[in-house]
A and B are shown apart, each in its own frame.
Chain A
Amino acid sequence: MTYENFGRYRSLVTAKSTELDIGLVAQDGGVVTGLLCHALKTGEIDGAVLTQKLDSGWMPAQYVATTREEILGGAGSIYALSPSVFQLKDAVREYALENVAYVGLPCQVVAVRKMQLYPFGGRFVGDRVRLVIGIFCSENFPIEGLRNIVEGYGNMPLEEADRIYLSGGKVMIEGESTAGVPIKKAALYAQDGDHVCPDLTAEYADISVGSTGSEPGWNTVFVRTGRGEKLFNSAVAEGLIETGDIEAVKPGPSALQKLAKTKKTTAQSNIKKRDQLGLFVTKNMYY
């Protein structure tokens, strides 16, 4: 099957990491963590810029990981803004890394690509970004927006939430109790810059990873570039990543395609509205 609204890609599969320690900490299938650990071991990369929880308050902290343990420390999603492009500079300047991996959201992937093409600042960093892994994203929240969602709608102190994930149209919050907040309500706290973003599946990453479309405990993976393909295939060949035919699983790519299309049409209409208001909207914002 070929699909639209996913950008260019070479292959689309459902996948999960086969490593036990990764499975314990992963948000879903652990493919991002698994690929990073594999790339580190083979020398493809010598470090990665990642995001982890700073504390129990879910504040995102950006850091440079150079060991397997440190990479595992970044497993799991945090639904709040993490300005991690900055740490690419630290990775190259302070850690003297030659081949850096970057994991970020679709908008951050675009930012890294632009920086590689137009290095107005951060000399000699762009060429050292070896691998860009994108995470699916429908929208993101300021940290205090996340607090409003968890505490206001979910009736649970943010500090007591152990796990936050999306499932069945809801933001699921697990702690001592469990709460589900409809995404539509949560979306009220999304940052406004996301509303003109047409990209759900990180179309400019080497590899894009998310959960929508696959079964629980698995990832949906787009392999998009030659670099990405080489790394992904070698991880599969070594048995570190298990793959499956995504057409055979429920809900499958059509569910993801529907979401991707909605994000694009919403972005398009928001761009138009802002244009009519006379606001500046980035040229070529829509793709």
Chain B
Amino acid sequence: MGRPEFAYLHLSACSGCEISFLDNYERLIEMMDMVDFKYMTILMDATEIPEVDIVFIDGAACLQSKESMEALRTARKNARYLVAWGGCSSTATINSFSRGGQMPQPQHESFPAISKLVKVDAFVPGCPPGPEMAYRIINAFVKGDTDYLKYLTSEGMGGFSCGCDLLSRIIGNSLCIGCGTCAFSCPTRAITMPLGRPSINWDRCVKCGACYAGCPRSFQPLDLMNRMMEEL
């Protein structure tokens, strides 16, 4: 059996997630050994999304764009495992602020998180997620490491997200321990920690979901931490 086949679909987003993916630098070569890259427009000249084992989707699909809706549906149909790579596909991120009216396509106004349109197997919030995440997901997929992937499938990782999650789901359930990881995870430095609790600058929050995903109290990957302790 050959290597698992891989595709990367880029929808409406800034390309930061593609860059983050490529920022694995020399490890990208290793990733290319782990999976067979079949489709990724930034790297190769391929125009049709082929049938693959795993697809990364970055960006939100615009409801008013026939092309992007078709691309998303084809990707889902052709892939066994679909990863919502980055905030725009997992949580819609700044696409949530869109209300249309801009040139050259003023009718383009709705950019929901892709989980509203297709079934997503793994959510990777972050704006962008760290390059290491791409490496680890591909590695886990190839090795069948479901312990790693399972936390990305559920645990509230997908769907609409913002700094509010910290207030409602973490502090609201009296789980916050004031560690500062949310502030660490925030790409726009929208979170500060006065008196040991997150305070969110709503004008800076891009709703990527990294703060909640990174919070040690949203999920605690115990079996992986145990494994890690053996390796360190």
B175–A85 CB distance below 8 A: no
B179–A111 CB distance below 8 A: yes
Q: A86-B193, A114-B225, A127-B132 are in contact. Are A120 and B214 (CB under 8 A)?
A: yes
Write out the residue numbers on chain A whose beta carbons fall within 8 Å of the beta carbon of B174: 192-193, 195, 279
B220–A285 CB distance below 8 A: yes
A282–B232 CB distance below 8 A: no
| A38 in the interface (beta carbon within 8 A) | no
B175–A196 CB distance below 8 A: yes
Q: A88-B184, A120-B185, A142-B195 are in contact. Are A110 and B216 (CB under 8 A)?
A: yes
B185–A111 CB distance below 8 A: no
Residue among A80, A86, A123 making CB contact with B20, cutoff 8 Å: A123
Write out the residue numbers on chain B whose beta carbons fall within 8 Å of the beta carbon of A83: 178-180, 183, 193, 196
Q: In the complex, A124 Cα to B128 Cα: how many Å?
A: 12
Minimum Cβ distance to chain A for residue B140 (Å) = 11
Q: A110-B220, A287-B222 are in contact. Are A118 and B176 (CB under 8 A)?
A: no
| A262 in the interface (beta carbon within 8 A) | no
A123 (CB) vs chain B CBs: closest residue:
B130
Which has the most chain A C-beta neighbours within 10 Å: B132, B209, B224?
B132
| B129 in the interface (beta carbon within 8 A) | yes
Q: In the complex, A60 Cα to B124 Cα: how many Å?
A: 33
Q: A117-B221, A204-B229, A284-B222 are in contact. Are A85 and B180 (CB under 8 A)?
A: yes
B132–A123 CB distance below 8 A: yes
| A263 in the interface (beta carbon within 8 A) | no
Residue among B131, B219, B224 making CB contact with A123, cutoff 8 Å: B131
Q: In the complex, A204 Cα to B221 Cα: how many Å?
A: 12
Contact residues of B between 24 and 53, Cβ < 8 Å to A:
none
| A116 in the interface (beta carbon within 8 A) | yes
| A194 in the interface (beta carbon within 8 A) | yes
Q: A119-B132, A143-B195 are in contact. Are A282 and B179 (CB under 8 A)?
A: no
Minimum Cβ distance to chain A for residue B15 (Å) = 16
| B70 in the interface (beta carbon within 8 A) | no
Residue among A88, A89, A140, A225 making CB contact with B177, cutoff 8 Å: A140
Q: In the complex, A118 Cα to B178 Cα: how many Å?
A: 19
B133–A119 CB distance below 8 A: yes
Contact residues of A between 81 and 106, Cβ < 8 Å to B:
81-89, 104-105
A115–B177 CB distance below 8 A: no
Write out the residue numbers on chain A whose beta carbons fall within 8 Å of the beta carbon of B89: none
Q: A104-B179, A123-B20, A281-B175 are in contact. Are A82 and B196 (CB under 8 A)?
A: yes
Query: How many chain B residues touch the partner (CB < 8 A)?
Result: 55
Query: How many chain A residues touch the partner (CB < 8 A)?
Result: 61
B228–A113 CB distance below 8 A: yes
Minimum Cβ distance to chain B for residue A89 (Å) = 5
Contact residues of B between 124 and 153, Cβ < 8 Å to A:
124-133, 136, 148, 151
Contact residues of A between 142 and 161, Cβ < 8 Å to B:
142-144
A121–B185 CB distance below 8 A: yes
A285 (CB) vs chain B CBs: closest residue:
B220
Q: In the complex, A283 Cα to B150 Cα: how many Å?
A: 12
Write out the residue numbers on chain B whose beta carbons fall within 8 Å of the beta carbon of A280: 169, 173, 175
B216–A122 CB distance below 8 A: no
B175–A193 CB distance below 8 A: yes
Minimum Cβ distance to chain B for residue A201 (Å) = 13
Q: In the complex, A179 Cα to B74 Cα: how many Å?
A: 71
Write out the residue numbers on chain A whose beta carbons fall within 8 Å of the beta carbon of B222: 284, 287
B220–A114 CB distance below 8 A: yes
A118–B214 CB distance below 8 A: yes
| A239 in the interface (beta carbon within 8 A) | no
A81–B196 CB distance below 8 A: yes
A193–B151 CB distance below 8 A: no
Write out the residue numbers on chain B whose beta carbons fall within 8 Å of the beta carbon of A8: 226, 229
Q: In the complex, A58 Cα to B179 Cα: how many Å?
A: 17
A144–B195 CB distance below 8 A: yes
A120–B213 CB distance below 8 A: yes
Binary A-proximity of B194-209 (CB < 8 A = 1, otherwise 0):
0111000000000001
Interface residues of A (CB under 8 A from B): 8, 62, 80-89, 104-105, 107-108, 110-127, 140, 142-144, 191-197, 204, 206, 224-228, 274, 279-285, 287
A–B complex contacts, Cβ < 8 Å, 22 sampled: A81-B177, A82-B196, A86-B183, A86-B193, A111-B216, A118-B213, A119-B132, A120-B214, A121-B130, A121-B186, A123-B20, A125-B130, A125-B184, A140-B177, A140-B178, A144-B195, A192-B174, A195-B174, A224-B229, A227-B232, A281-B173, A282-B219
Interface residues of B (CB under 8 A from A): 20, 23, 124-133, 136, 148, 151, 155, 169, 173-181, 183-187, 193, 195-197, 209-211, 213-226, 228-229, 232
